[in-house]
Amino acid sequence: MLNSYLNLVKKLTEISHLNGVMSTITWDQEVMMPDGAANARADQVATLAGVVHERMTDPVLGEYLEELRTLTEHFNPAECCNIREACRQYDLMTKIPKRLVQALAELGSKGHMTWVQARQENKFKDFLPVIQEFLMLKKEWASCAFPDLSPYDANIDQYERGMTAAEITVIFDQLKTTLMPLIHEITHHAYQPDTAFLQGCFPIDKQAALARKISEDIGFQFDKGRMDVSVHPFCGGSHPTDVRITTRYSKYNFVESIYAAIHETGHALYEQGRQIASADLPVSESLTMGIHESQSLFWERMIAQSKAFCTHYFDSFCKFFPENLQTVKVDTFYRAINACKPDFIRVEADELTYPLHIILRFEIEKELFEGNVSVNDLPELWNEKMFTYLGIRPPNDTVGILQDSHWSGGAFGYFPSYTLGAIYACQFYRAIQSEHPDIEQLVASGDFSSIKNWLNKNIHSQGKLYTPQELILRITGEPLNPEHFICYLEEKYRKIYQLKGS
């Protein structure tokens, strides 16, 4: 029994190393790879995906698991988790044909480059075949992997295990009921925060230096990671000692780049906070994308957009960009970066309108998988929903349906994780606030260590020991509850905009 477990660990470690190589070349594809190498990289990714699939479906691995899956009472919780997760992954992967795994990997690589060009040239028709092919492949994948689930639920499960489209719909409908009228009230209110000073010319080298400083201040270890530039900000890497984040810069908007860097740093702190001793085993892996997004949004929204954070960094902002901020006060800056103004771009959206960007995408994906809408009709459907929810209509597809990279890699079912993560983040903040009532004072003084340590202890180091449902209950004492998120947004934005009920 012990030998079987040690052999299992050896095989899982090898698979982890191969996945680490895949992560690194995927990072390279988005950050450093020359455009002309796209086809060669797609072939490399497909080949490596095939090798990983062979390792994950190895009959010898299956023999070890068959022996161990009924003997978990002899192992500690971490070892039980490794066995449980390995069994689940083996059972799943043995249902998926190797050719399908390779086809998805190859299309994901080629699809990304197709999306980049289509976005640059505002040509949805060039990207349309990628979506069509992914839908076909992802439906086939779903029928193999989870034949008892609807195709879309099967894809959601990849990112938010145990969650269904029906459950998400209930939560999102609850958010729409509150947020849409609040946003309408705000956008038609006489008082609007002054944001003019956020427009100007902000040297990119200064933005990069400030982004690095803040990222390091809140805990990112640059000796175990790096920060680069990509079309779409992301967090990648192969190991807790090799975590790679990216942001993007616009010389006309420093807030976007700084907060994108903070968002990705939140993801990176999760990765760097995983158990090093078990880093190549399932027990150390991050839980779900909803939990992962909760960490990025915790730092970006709950911490970095707070009055306390603005107070601490205001002198730095003024030092880096004196021409724009020399006559601005902290309170004015705080209100400006939290201003609610419906916009076309999700990653630039404010905290209040952001959930509606996610709901729009979720509803479109659901309609696609249920066959209720044609891929050809997506731009028009996108624009109509944008107008219904936010009162604006994109002038072109580049800032409309082509703005996100997710579909280029086949990540259908991912989008709900962002708003589920915001709900988790709000509950986690309430929990840490109960243990550290002085959290605002800590942030205002630039002391982020207590917050990072709390997150490391309660979330990052827990890996996959618990389900998301068990983890949120252990930490907060209740299940996922959107009411806390709704109350937080209502209270914050009514106060900023001086509305009744504030």
* Residues with active-site annotation: 264
Quickly tell me which residue has 């550290």 as its tokens.
Answer: 436
Separation of alpha carbons 175 and 171, rounded Å: 6
Among 366, 364, 338, 363, residue whose Cα is nearest residue 352 = 338
Separation of alpha carbons 374 and 371, rounded Å: 7
| Residue 193 tokens, joined | 């925060």
Give whole-number Cα distances, 363 to 152, 173, 240, 369, 484, in Å.
11, 11, 35, 10, 23
Quickly tell me which residue has 């002054």 as its tokens.
Answer: 194
Chain-centroid distance of CA 28 in Å reads 19
Q: Which are the contacts of 361, defined by CB distance < 8 A and separation ≥ 6?
A: 346, 404, 415
Other residues' Cβ atoms within 10 Å of the Cβ of residue 116: 19
Q: What is the dihedral of CA 250, 255, 257, 261, to 10 degrees?
A: 180
| Residue 217 tokens, joined | 């201040």
207, 416 Cβ separation under 8 angstroms: no
499, 483 Cβ separation under 8 angstroms: no
Signed CA dihedral, 308, 310, 316, 318: sign only: negative
Q: H or E segment at 110?
A: helix 98-121
428, 294 Cβ separation under 8 angstroms: yes
429, 302 Cβ separation under 8 angstroms: yes
Separation of alpha carbons 338 and 355, rounded Å: 15
Separation of alpha carbons 154 and 246, rounded Å: 29
DSSP-assigned beta bridge partners for residue 250: 253
Among 134, 146, 47, 42, residue whose Cα is nearest residue 93 = 146
